Amino acid sequence: MEKVRKAFFSGTWYPEKGLEVEKQLDKWDQVLAPAVKNSICGIVPHAGWFFSGIMAYDVIRRFPENLDVLFILGGHLPENNPIIFYDYDSFETPLGPLPVKRSIISSIRKKIHCESDESADNTIEVQLPLINYILGQIPIVPLRVPSGESALKLAEIINTVSSSSNLNIAVLGSTDLTHYGLNYNFIPQQSLDDPLKWVEESDRRILQAMIDVEPVNILELAHDNQSACSAGAAACAASYARIRGITSGTLLQYDTSYSKHKSESFVGYGSVVYSAGQKT
């Protein structure tokens, strides 16, 4: 019997029904410019769709339609944590199940320490209906990545495994940026004069590291400034882009939750793509 991972966040963080998903994405299509489908990596936020769904959608719709496998990388893990994999055959979405490419996960587990996990996690789940809508029932490799050196090693393994399998793949890293305010127990002294400006400046620094395809700098900035909650996922995606010869990414959008909901606690979001042939 197929082992299906049930959705934890449908009906709250994103629509529960397939028709509702399609209606929402149709609305976003009406406000977004046409996209070229030539990206091999991307970095997306993972808040509820109300806050950042359109930004994630803008990245995912740029992947080629002929992909064989999509690696979807989440986080919320400290640097010394093992990589997390999911022991499931498929993931439930409002548009139908997405199959898990178990053979690739098995290959990765032979090369780096991984552990399974059953807990709810938004970093991967909120992307799945978007993936299903754009790419259909593409096989996925869902992994949560620590914010340390293992993120860089995983990028090398992804390249080795995909090359040896002769598969056309893309990599999607999922992270939000600075989590500011009492709700997140993060109010640096230097931010007090203008919290929103301070957060935007901090976020811009780590976004520039993503644009410049500097995975080590992404990890360091996140560690030093608390400017990304899932830096390992972003660093792994950027590292894979660099392995593939890409030396420059494109920032599509930047925003904070403050623009949608005025609050003393808020979160930054950014979306970045790495496209074939993208050089500095």
Number of separate domains in the chain:
1
Mean pLDDT of all residues in 150-178: 96
pTM to 2 decimal places: 0.97
> Which CATH number do you get for residue 185?
3.40.830.10
Whether 135 is in a domain gets the answer: yes
pLDDT at 124: 98
Helix (H, G, I), strand (E, B) or coil at 27: helix
Whether 149 is in a domain gets the answer: yes
Whether 178 is in a domain gets the answer: yes
Task: With cut-offs at 50, 70 and 90, classify the pLDDT of residue 279.
Answer: low
CA nearest to 244, candidates 276, 208, 211: 276
Whether 280 is in a domain gets the answer: no
Whether 105 is in a domain gets the answer: yes
What integer best gives the mean pLDDT of the chain? Answer: 97
pLDDT at 10: 97
Whether 251 is in a domain gets the answer: yes
pLDDT at 162: 87
pLDDT at 278: 59
Whether 111 is in a domain gets the answer: yes
How many residues would you count in the chain?
280
Question: Which tens digit of pLDDT belongs to each residue from 53-108?
Answer: 999 999 999 999 999 999 999 999 999 999 999 999 999 999 999 999 999 999 99
Q: Which residues lie below 8 Å from residue 251, measured CB to CB, with a gap of 6+?
A: 207, 210, 211, 270, 271, 272
Q: Are 176 and 45 in contact (CB under 8 A)?
A: yes
Is 41's pLDDT higher than 80?
Answer: yes
Residue 185 belongs to what domain range? 4-275
Whether 28 is in a domain gets the answer: yes
